[in-house]
Structure 1
Amino acid sequence: MTRKPRKRLIGQQRLEEVLDIVLQEEVEEVEELEDEDEELEEAPAVPPSRFEPLPCPAPEESNGVEQRPVRVYADGIYDLFHFGHARSLEQAKKLFPNTYLLVGCCSDALTHKYKGKTVMYEAERYESLRHCKWVDEVIPDAPWVISQEFLDKHQIDYVAHDALPYADASGAGKDVYDFVKKAGRFKETKRTDGVSTSDLIMRIIKDYNEYVMRNLARGYTRKELGVSYVKEKQLRVNMGISKLRQKVKEQQDRVGRKLDIVARRAGLHQGEWVENADRWVSGFLEKFEESCHFMEKAIKMQLQKGLLRPQLKKQRPNKLLTNREPSSFITKKTATSMA
């Protein structure tokens, strides 16, 4: 009668040993696969679309003038210089077999007055253009509206730009290129869809918090980033909680895969095992997420208390002074006169 329990204990121990061995093997295998997945994820992301080369216009004849190259002028702000700018300059450069491309760039004062604030300073924008291989000469402090005097000064034969009318914010006309269009000295270039300085700025604004946290982690101070003390603390708390939730989600997927592997190796009924495992894991995660929620609220409350405490200290002396009645202030002079 006493041997049966021993046999059962021995059988259970062997089963547990087998399960431990199988679990250890599968855990190692899963970790190896996860390491491979992480290596693949670290590879650079594939761009969402491929930008095909824009069709450049067929080079035009230079009207028999071979003693000098055709001087073509293009202008703009060129803030956050990107490949859309470079592609438009490439088209301008390839208008004629022998083209000398001059590129005018407006100053900060002129741009801020008529268009708005730029990200890059004028010197940075000039230097960006100088490093573009299609540009032969950069004209700094270019005029907002082209005049005949400007064309004659730089011996410009043609002006290259896209054909969209650009309203003259200075009030001189409805289109800054109207003068050269009427004179027959305008050459059209095509814009690149999907990229512009405004689009790049919008991407940064959309993920503003992430970029702020990245720069704080790299050593920038909140003053350099223009972030208040309260905003910095809120960002750090929110980013920490987001990382914690992401870890919980990854752990949930990892545990589910490992339990499924153990069930298959142990020969257990897969449906029953998975159902129980899901219930166990879900119950644990519900409790864990509930704790995270309470922890998040507690952290925010402590943060608010810490921020309000200095303000209350500053306000307390002022309240004491305003709440006192005038009769309570008795000087030595009034006391002696009363006596």
Structure 2
Amino acid sequence: MDALMIHTLIQSRYSIFDACGELPFSIIFGLCRNSSDGIDPRALVVDISGSALDVPYALANELLKSHGINTLRSDKQRLKDANIFTSPSGTRFVTLPSPMGRTKHYKECFTIFEYRIDVDSELASLLQPGKEYSIKLASRDLGIKWWTYVDEPQLPLSEEQISQSSEPAKLLNSKPSAGHAAFTVVDSLPWPPEVSTRMCITPATEIVAELLEICITNTGPLPLSIQVQGRQRFLEPQGLFGPETPQRIPSHRPLETETPVLYFGFLVTNTATDEIVLGNGKRRTGCIGLTSGRVDPRPRMQDLITLEPAQPLVRRVDLGGIVVGLGDGTFFIVISTS
């Protein structure tokens, strides 16, 4: 066999690289053996040093290329001495299970390797704030110089195994493209102040129904504007195929005072069965409108409220409107973080 095909994908953990290092940043690689090449039941172990997964080395030696507003091309010589051994990722060998007998969808079968870019590294020093970068494979060649088959992938390689010659077949990306890791560099990220949320149940009286009281307090020193309805937009960690945590359906928040209670993002769990009986896609009502990519992502003024420092905002909700239709039992209520 002249070549062994490996389905390869590249993604950035975040769309932002924080030059201050408060937000850890990494380039994600996903490797999956093609089912059509599944003629060997053994696992495959690759040495990623000096390969396309060894990001500084790969950029310096044209296994990876950068494109976009800033290309890193003029700075490649500074990366010649950087390699996987100087990376905080600290991993040299990656194991790929055999595709024989695979029953899961191929998207669930990727081996994930993350190359973390430390802010003190040579590569980070080349990333200029305000610039956009996009890193992808320069060709189908993964640049892997040594790999072997193993019968017991859970065991570390012995010195004897490592000293053996590599298997002869070349490891190539099976697709014309492997995607790309795109990100923008910023000097620093603004971090939001902490907000304290407290809930309690107010017992019913002869004239007032049982209420769920929600108290939200801005614990920071400055006034804080909060969006009370519509889709929230956060800086979210990415996996190979999109956000690691899928966004919830846009909902109203308990800060809003004029919305029926069933539209709020509550999660109600039956404590006896640990089953979510409301929220998480259950008993949602109403229609969610489609949005266009051209829509201004900024929240509207009427969707914002201001929390003054140390001044609690209290919202009282009729508890019967939340639990209506549920059977007898004990339930636990939390506010969804969508």
TM-score, normalised by the number of residues in structure 2: 0.19
- Give the structure with the higher percent helix: 1
* Structure (1 or 2) with the larger CA radius of gyration: 1
Higher relative contact order (CA 8 A, sep 6+): 2
